[in-house]
Chain A
Amino acid sequence: MGEILRDYDVLGAFWMTIYLTFFSAIGALVIGTILAVMRVSPVSVLRAAGTAYVNVIRNTPLTLILVFCSLGVLYILEINLADPQSPTSIRDNAIRWAIVGLSVYHAAFVCEALRSGVNTVPLGQAEAARAIGLTFGQSLTQVIMPQAFRGAIAPLGSVLIALTKNTTVASIIGVAEASGLMKEIMENETASFAVFLLFALGFVILTLPTGMLFTWMSQRLAVKR
């Protein structure tokens, strides 16, 4: 086991996992918040578009989304996110498209988590905001959403944990993250079970504190009613 840690860049691979998780989480939070606003807005076209996005993306396998991003969009439509002439274009394109794919996929789940948060805000809050003359935008940003986020901490934590583990799918489009390195080590070494346990442990180390942090935050930040 010591040899494996010495010969392979296990920490570097997990760093890539964290990198993907971090940027995809930001992307998913931005897109997911926009979707959640669309789904609670008074405009029926926006509501329908938000619902359609969530239903289509949530019910499509992540593998399919990532292969589509890489093979379909990058290689067949030839839409590059990195300069194709640069000496690291393949690596950069793979990482960036993986972040796009992961963000797009998890945005659907973030949207639903936030919508459940919106439902924890009593209707009276929206009515009171309207009564004191706030517009839809103002009541959303000043009254509803701050409470909705605090009510949605626990489900958002679950989405983040799922996202951390789902970054392993990015190895199929060539991103050098943890599960990709695991496949490489298993190809070369024969201690496949021990290697598997090592990587499983790595993911537990990443996700267990995330879960505990979000549980603590959900209790601390919950709106006391």
Chain B
Amino acid sequence: MNARRIGAIAATAALALGLSACGSSDDGGDAGSGGDSGKKLKIGIKFDQPGLGLKKGTDVTGFDVDIAKYVAKELGTSEANIEWVQAPSPQRETLIETGQVDLIFATYSITDARKEKVTFAGPYFIAGQDLLVRADDASITGPDSLTGKKLCSVKGSTSAQKVKDKYPGVQLQEFATYSECLPALSTGGVDALTTDDTILAGYAAQAEYKGKFKVVGQPFSEERYGVGLKKGDTATCNKVNDALKKAFTDGAWQKAIDDNLGPAGYKAGPGNPPTPDACA
């Protein structure tokens, strides 16, 4: 007991030092030293994304959460020692840089701009931007049948920007969250909701919307979900990649998809499971 308490204090002190030593590349390495089951890990996830990362009461569920738990176990942290931190899209880089989280599993697409700030392990999933339409709507079959239609997405998101740039004949309603698009979609105010197919499948699988909406299934972009890590932390990156490769082969990855996105009839698209990139 006493030893554990001292250990916890030492860990806190080390963390504080890590913060003050801002940016030195070796201090993040201890996150992956493994073997010590009492080690805490702070993992950033989405709290509001059904099927991917959702917090209800004290429970967290979703595909990202299941993969995060698996990777944490491989890094030597039991489920009880994971601290779940909310990682909203605009704050993800900051959370990593300031050390408020150790790992991020939050539908975090790997992009070159983000690579300047964080190191990515993975990808662990390849999603694509797709469309969610009313189940009885046959007029939208893919991105080419969108002209003159009304779409809904989240303000500032990559999906919203892509629609604006690539499909100028489309009108776009932007809300703060995807949940606000769903009532507008069901009354016919908008014709489709667009974002990553995983997120759409998560909404379509929710009990209150079951059978009302369908995912079109014609992805028109490639989003490679990676695990966000402190910049330059190659040691942890390699460990996370090993854990991901193991999850791909032992069935844990497939099970996580079936459990969380399966109810919407979602199947992982081409290229899945992906091959993790080499850690730079």
Task: Give CA–CA (A54, B117) in the complex, Å.
Answer: 48
B242 within 8 A of A: no
Among A14-22, A29-37, A180-188, which stretch is in contact with chain B?
A180-188
Main secondary structure of the interface of A (DSSP, over half): helix
Contacts of A135 in B (CB 8 A): none
Q: Is there contact, CB below 8 Å, between A192 and B175?
A: no
B79 within 8 A of A: no
> Assuming A190-B114, A192-B94, is B173 touching A174 (CB within 8 A)?
yes
Q: In the complex, how many angstroms separate the beta carbon of B224 from the nearest chain A beta carbon?
A: 16
B48 within 8 A of A: no
Q: Which residue of A lies closest to B148 (CB)?
A: A87
Q: In the complex, how many angstroms separate the beta carbon of B89 from the nearest chain A beta carbon?
A: 7
Q: Is there contact, CB below 8 Å, between A91 and B113?
A: no
Q: In the complex, how many angstroms separate the beta carbon of B231 from the nearest chain A beta carbon?
A: 11
B158 within 8 A of A: yes
Task: Give CA–CA (A180, B190) in the complex, Å.
Answer: 20
A171 within 8 A of B: yes
Q: Is there contact, CB below 8 Å, between B158 and A187?
A: yes
Q: Which listed residue, B148, B155, B172, touches A172 by the CB 8 Å rule?
A: B155
Among B18-26, B68-76, B180-188, which stretch is in contact with chain A?
B180-188
A60 within 8 A of B: no
Q: Is there contact, CB below 8 Å, between B93 and A190?
A: yes
Main secondary structure of the interface of B (DSSP, over half): mixed
A75 within 8 A of B: yes
Q: Is there contact, CB below 8 Å, between A91 and B89?
A: no
Task: Give CA–CA (A67, B181) in the complex, Å.
Answer: 11
Q: Which residue of B lies closest to A171 (CB)?
A: B155
> Assuming A87-B171, A190-B114, is B184 touching A75 (CB within 8 A)?
yes
Q: Is there contact, CB below 8 Å, between B117 and A184?
A: no
A89 within 8 A of B: yes
Contacts of B180 in A (CB 8 A): 67, 71
Q: Is there contact, CB below 8 Å, between B155 and A190?
A: no
A99 within 8 A of B: no
Per-residue CB contact flags for chain B residues 103-128 toward chain A (1 = under 8 Å, else 0) read 00000000001101100000000000
Contacts of B141 in A (CB 8 A): none
Q: Is there contact, CB below 8 Å, between B189 and A184?
A: no
Contacts of A184 in B (CB 8 A): 155-156, 160-161
Contacts of A75 in B (CB 8 A): 183-184, 187, 189-190
A134 within 8 A of B: no
Contacts of A172 in B (CB 8 A): 155, 175-176
Q: Is there contact, CB below 8 Å, between B171 and A88?
A: yes
Q: Is there contact, CB below 8 Å, between B173 and A186?
A: no
Q: Is there contact, CB below 8 Å, between A192 and B155?
A: no
* Contact residues of B between 35 and 86, Cβ < 8 Å to A: none
Q: Which listed residue, A74, A87, A173, A186, touches B189 by the CB 8 Å rule?
A: A74
Binding site for B on A (CB under 8 A): 67, 70-71, 74-76, 78, 87-91, 94, 171-174, 180, 183-184, 186-190, 192
Given contacts A75-B189, A190-B117, 20 further A-B contacts (CB under 8 A): A67-B180, A71-B184, A75-B184, A76-B189, A78-B187, A78-B189, A90-B150, A90-B172, A171-B155, A171-B176, A174-B173, A180-B174, A184-B155, A184-B156, A184-B161, A186-B156, A187-B157, A188-B113, A188-B158, A188-B161
Q: List 20 A-B contacts (CB under 8 A).
A: A67-B180, A74-B189, A75-B187, A78-B187, A87-B148, A87-B169, A87-B171, A91-B171, A94-B173, A171-B176, A174-B172, A183-B156, A184-B155, A184-B160, A187-B157, A188-B161, A189-B113, A190-B114, A192-B90, A192-B93
